[in-house]
Amino acid sequence: MLQALTRDLNLDAATVQIRLANEANAISTDSKLRGTLGDRFAGSWLSGDGSVLNVGVTDSAAAALAKAAGAAPRLVGRSLTQLKAIAADLDAKATTAPKNVPGWYVDVRTNSVVVLYRGDIEAAKAWAGGAPRFEPSAEQPTTLMNIIGGNAYFINNTFRCSVGFSVLGGFITAGHCGSIGSTTTQPNGVFAGSSFPGNDYAWVQTGPGDTPRPWVNTYPGFQLAGRAIEAPVGTSVCRSGSTTGWHCGTIQAREATVVYSQGTVTGMIRTNVCAEPGDSGGSLVAGNGAQGVTSGGSGNCTVGGTTYFQPVNEILDTYGLWMPK
């Protein structure tokens, strides 16, 4: 922490140590005053160098208590409870917020609730009403995620599948999980390629804030899987999926054909690893080598079953993708 704060706050080590000590005292004082002042408490904030704890209060008696505790009292018009109520009103109608409003927050420094907006302030005002304060912003927030094999993701905010393997720019998964143009959340992305039936593969392009990792979730824990290999029949393999987690078995055949109700898929890996709905798209590995993404099969993880996997190398070659190292 000391090294990171020295780097990111552009301070020397001695100054960081002093700041950390001041902040520890401030946290303790803040906790005590919240309980003592109750509804007269209006939030607290540190000075720029972290040396002074400012405390918003709504009357002179509360100011005296804050000063006695070693804080700098600041008389304000609204309590923290009132500020939170304004923010809660906005939260309650969040789904109707105009697209140029990227967020809002309680700003204890100015004793207000701030609504951020891009471009047209009138649209923001019409939605939020008169209580908040409005600030222009260039923010366009996106989620920041590690993309890891076996984790869940959601298609069109409705269906769940599992990440196969991360690739540079996104991840690969099963084609039956979504068609080209389908959107995903956790992480946010869009199906840039999809093939099913015939094949059962797809790749999802994600945003720049999502980081592809050469890992597979082993529920719990993680395993490195940063290269695609082709293991022979009889090799022990393990599968990761968001419904049933981590299960293992062996490769029974390659170049298998499976007939689904939607059509035939060829060139598959046949295994005796179990899987269930929602595991689709998830990772199959042999050691630390990526083998395939979960397609479908029969049975379940209570009685066992047969599961088919789309080989990874074909997906990478089709779309010109690379796995992260």
Q: Which residues are tagged catalytic?
A: 176, 200, 280
Neighbour count for residue 143 (Cβ, 10 Å): 12
Q: Is the dihedral of CA 99, 100, 102, 104 positive or negative?
A: negative
Among the listed residues 168, 162, 213, the one whose alpha carbon sits nearest the alpha carbon of residue 186:
162
Helix-strand-coil split of the chain, %, nearest 5: 25, 40, 35
Bridge-based pairing state of the strands 283-286 and 112-117? unpaired
In the chain, how long is the greatest CA-to-CA distance?
A: 80
Cα→Cα distances 51→10, 16, 182, Å: 17, 11, 51
Decide: 279 and 174 in contact? Cβ < 8 Å.
no
Query: Who contacts 294 (Cβ-Cβ below 8 Å, separation ≥6)?
Result: 162, 164, 174, 239, 241, 275, 279, 280, 281, 282, 283, 284, 307, 309
What SS3 state is found at 38? Answer: helix
